[in-house]
Amino acid sequence: MIDLVIETHGLRKVYRSSGRRIVAVDGLDLSVPPGGVHGFLGPNGSGKTSTIKMLLGLVRPTKGEMRLFGLQVPDQLPQVIDRVGAVVEAPGFVPAFSGRKNLSLLAKSVKVPRSSVDAVLQQVGLADRAKDHYSSYSLGMRQRLAIGAALLKSPDLLILDEPTNGLDPAGIRGIREMIRGLGESGVTVLLSSHILAEVQQVCHSVSIVGDGRLLAAGKVDQLLGENVSRTRVGVDDPQGAKHFLESAGFTVSRETDHLVVEGHEHPEQITKVLALKGIYVQELAAIRPTLESFFLKLTGRSGEDAAADTSTPPTPPGDAS
């Protein structure tokens, strides 16, 4: 039994474009244990796609070590690639071929039986459109076909780079359920995303990156502070409610017509305090931290700093993350 499915040490990637050096990944140490869904979270331009491309041998690392299933990549990638399925960036297929033909050719190139093609087309909900040209597919259908291609080899490791991009709400839900199911069935899924809610809903563990470096890693609940409660409260009398809640020991701030309450374990504590004072709650909603706020908290920067930073570095060639 291997300890880690994905392992990188000091991984670095520098792109050179028009005489400029762009550091996309800067000494990244990543560890993904076997089984479950592991989030790879970071804002756009944080080095997620570059890291995934290096793991898959599409991009050469400038420095550092990588291992998949304990084998050194890219040198030993051919020995392990049959166990890996991946969707990287905007997936590319031959526009003039049907979805089925695109998958059939990929399957044939790695000696996967043709029956698997129909099975994955069914799995990703494209069986009815399998004969249509890829060029006629919507963005969501293209994304689903890419996921189908990644599943062709029945992989032990599935690497998904922003897999819900372009999908409609129903499609997003379907893909997330599928990812969860794959994680529960023993497949290790690395889910790259910049959407915090997606990671929170689907992942067991997460690595958070920014500026090409690992900022934090661990269980999702612990890292994203799901137990740290902030609740939005709507009442008729915000001023009175604020007074009573503060008297009860909560930290309360007023934001226009509602209150934001901190320092409670369960929201019912708030309703109980207010009801006893004759104030009835009209709105009660947990406030989840956004990736932006969480990221800023991790880096200790202000919103203005972050905005200035993200506007300066150009996206490295071929890197969407």
Partner 1 sequence: MIGLLSVELNRFRSRRAIALLVLASVLAAVAFVGATAWNTRPLTAADRADAAAQADLEGLRPDLLQEVRTCRASPKDFLGPDATADDCRAALVPSVESYYPREPLKLSAVLTKEGMGLALIVIVLMVIAGCTFTGADWSSGSMATQLVFEPRRTRVWLAKAAAVMLSCGLVAVVVLSGYWLAMGALAQARDIAMPSAHVSGVAWHVVRAVALAMGAGLGGFALTMIFRHTVATLALLFVYSVGGEIAVNLLPFEGSGRWSVGNNVLGWLAPHHRYLDATIVCTPGERCSSMQVMTHLEAGTFLGILLLVAVAASVLWFRRRDV
Interaction site with partner 1 (CB under 8 A): 15, 53, 56-60, 74, 77-78, 81, 84, 86, 88-97, 101-102, 105-106, 108-111, 146, 149, 153, 317-318
Residue 96 or 276: the one with the smaller Cβ distance to partner 1 is: 96
Shortest reach from residue 14's CB to partner 1, in Å: 11
Distance of CA 294 to the CA centre of its chain: 14
Query: Beta strand pairing status for 36-41 and 205-210?
Result: parallel
Phi/psi of residue 61, nearest 5 degrees: -70, 150
Shortest reach from residue 96's CB to partner 1, in Å: 5
Question: ∠ CA 182-141-177 to the nearest 5 degrees?
Answer: 25
Distance CA 85, CA 180 (A): 16
Return all residues near 102 (Cβ < 8 A) that are at least 6 apart.
Answer: 93, 94, 134, 145, 149
Instruction: Return the H-helix or E-strand segment holding 28.
Output: strand 20-32
Distances (CA, A) of 43 to 165, 232, 250, 304, 308: 14, 26, 33, 15, 14
What is the torsional sign of CA 99, 105, 106, 111?
Answer: positive
Shortest reach from residue 297's CB to partner 1, in Å: 33
Shortest reach from residue 223's CB to partner 1, in Å: 29
Residue 4 or 77: the one with the smaller Cβ distance to partner 1 is: 77
Residue 16 or 254: the one with the smaller Cβ distance to partner 1 is: 16
Shortest reach from residue 110's CB to partner 1, in Å: 5
Distance of CA 103 to the CA centre of its chain: 25
Residue 21 or 111: the one with the smaller Cβ distance to partner 1 is: 111
Shortest reach from residue 175's CB to partner 1, in Å: 18
Shortest reach from residue 84's CB to partner 1, in Å: 8
Residue 142 or 194: the one with the smaller Cβ distance to partner 1 is: 142
Instruction: Return the H-helix or E-strand segment holding 73.
Output: strand 71-73
Question: ∠ CA 156-193-298 to the nearest 5 degrees?
Answer: 120
Residue 102 or 164: the one with the smaller Cβ distance to partner 1 is: 102
Residue 85 or 140: the one with the smaller Cβ distance to partner 1 is: 85
Q: Are 223 and 206 in contact (CB under 8 A)?
A: yes
